[in-house]
Amino acid sequence: MAGEIVMNITDRETRLALVEDGQVAEIHIERRGERGIVGNIYKGRVIKVLPGMQAAFVDIGLPRAAFLYVGDIHPPNHDLNFVAADEEEEDAEQQNDQIPEVMHDEVYEFTPIEDLLEEGQDILVQISKEPLGSKGARITSQISLPGRHLVFMPTVDHVGISRRIENEQERQRLKEIISSIKPSCCGVIVRTVSENENSEKLQADLSFLQGTWQRILEKEVTMRAPSLIYEDLDLCLRGVRDLFTEDVTRLIVDSQEYHHRILEFMDTFMPSMKSCVELYEGEEPVFEKFGIEMELNKALGRKIWLKSGGYINIDFTEALVAIDVNTGRYVGKRNLQETILKTNLEAAKEIAYQLRLRNIGGIIIVDFIDMDRAPDREKVTTALQEALKKDKQKTNILKISELGLVQMTRKRTRENLTRTLCEQCPHCEGKGFVKSLTTVSYEVLRAILSEISDSASSCIRVTAHPEVVKLLFEQESAQLEQMQKQYNTKIELTQDPHLSQEQYEVSAC
């Protein structure tokens, strides 16, 4: 699977695209003043302990207090050999998500949060999830420091190997190396890029991370809460660290300054790969040159057409994301069941691709076209699972139901592409639709009657969108004349193109 990393860097924002086999697989965007904070470490102060929720709110200096769940607190009086290794090893591979989730509650009963924290207490925490919507950031006190080859966890005594390293002999070799060099009472996860690397590189990476942790501890002593103690790399260098695997053949960047920064970074962590870095100096913008700009715009659309002529719709709600599969223009060749199966199989691959491209997370409901045969439903479920194997984010999928519904979750640590690039429509206020002209005109007529009864004025002025005024003139003129005669009131209609279709004002002259 040949891959490329393309970076477009300006004074305002950094955009990074991961291209796999000629197709844009991931897009990451970081704007000045809106830099991602996942991985940052803060000295915070507990401002509220909630025993009923077994959680606490911590002031870390952000506009909204951060949320700390009891399961994310490093317990000082427990043996730490309880980490769910599979969860951690997978999470350690995730871009912008280097904070392993430790599933404590499956192993031992929690110490109540009121016995672990008290209001006013200072605590060292790390961002595990960006603030999403109206929610504050989610934090953990189980610190995790990602390097090029390793992830260092100073609060967990554990050795983990990335599940993407499948060769058992190589896994055992790496485990033996790490066990021999890691400090006691600390954890280390070996990342995928460490496969076939020598012990000297792993030792160098571990020493660098240990030194970083020591500097964090020293800074914690001198800083007052709330304050930022450690800031993770920016998107440019984070992308090099986390995405530049053996499958990536080259990295193209259009900034001379960042080209130099990347080469300096590689001198330290991956000198053998410096030859893969190219400075783009073409006149055409780099994202347009590689077709990424077009894919980015398409990724904001609701409807995605399939090659067969079918299509899928993606709709966002407050609680979940709904994906609907339709046959569209595809009519098949033999019979209805074959047509439905082919459309669903094609849709399964496209859905997995769109989830990764758009960074869609949380609860996802997929409404495949209804399939009568159980083997067909099994084929579609398998196809979706296979397509999701390329995705580094953790997903859980339930089997397809008889109604053709698939319930799944995808780990979410930052906003999806739509929320990053778009804002709520000022006209529909996020509903996705507006009241029809007829509906608004009837509302205006009712508002006129209400104003006449309230003010007993001899003149009523209506200000509305030009299309609403036009409809009132053309279709409701008889009703307006009748109201003027019946109530001995003059009604004036005024156009205001600055109003939305739903907005109007009815008042006494």
Contact 422, 414 (CB under 8 A): no
CA distance 240 to 254: 15
pLDDT at 331: 65
Other Cβ atoms within 10 Å of 251 Cβ, number: 23
pLDDT at 475: 92
Contact 462, 506 (CB under 8 A): yes
CA distance 282 to 290: 11
Output the tens digit of pLDDT for each of the chain's 509 residues.
Answer: 578 999 999 988 999 999 998 899 999 999 887 778 899 999 999 999 999 999 999 999 999 999 999 989 876 434 333 333 333 444 444 433 344 444 343 434 578 999 999 999 999 999 998 887 778 899 999 999 999 899 999 988 889 998 888 889 999 999 999 999 988 888 999 998 888 888 988 999 999 999 999 999 999 999 999 999 999 899 999 999 988 887 889 999 999 999 999 999 998 888 888 899 999 999 899 999 999 999 998 898 899 999 888 899 999 888 899 999 998 876 666 678 888 899 999 999 999 999 999 999 999 999 999 888 889 999 999 999 999 988 888 899 998 887 789 999 998 877 888 888 888 888 777 777 889 999 999 999 999 998 888 877 789 999 999 999 999 999 999 999 999 998 899 999 999 999 999 999 999 88
pTM for the whole thing?
A: 0.77
pLDDT at 461: 93
Cα angle value 487/490/494 (rounded, 5°): 135
SS3 state of residue 250: strand
pLDDT at 109: 58
Provide the CA 152 distance to its chain's centre, in angstroms.
24
pLDDT at 87: 37
For 437-508, CATH gives: 3.40.1260.20
Q: Can you identify the CATH homologous superfamily of domain 44-227? A: Nucleic acid-binding proteins (2.40.50.140)
What ranges do the domains of the chain cover?
3-33+237-294, 44-227, 301-421, 437-508
Nearest to 234 by CA among 34, 19, 418: 34
For 3-33+237-294, CATH gives: 3.30.420.60
The answer, yes or no, to whether the previous bond of 226 is cis (omega within 30 of 0) is yes
User: If you search the block for the tokens 């966890």, which residue do you land on?
Assistant: 153
pLDDT at 329: 77
Query: Angle formed by the axes of helices 199-222 and 168-181, to 10°?
Result: 50
Pairing of strands 459-464, 490-495: parallel
CA distance 410 to 63: 27
Nearest to 234 by CA among 438, 77, 478, 7: 7
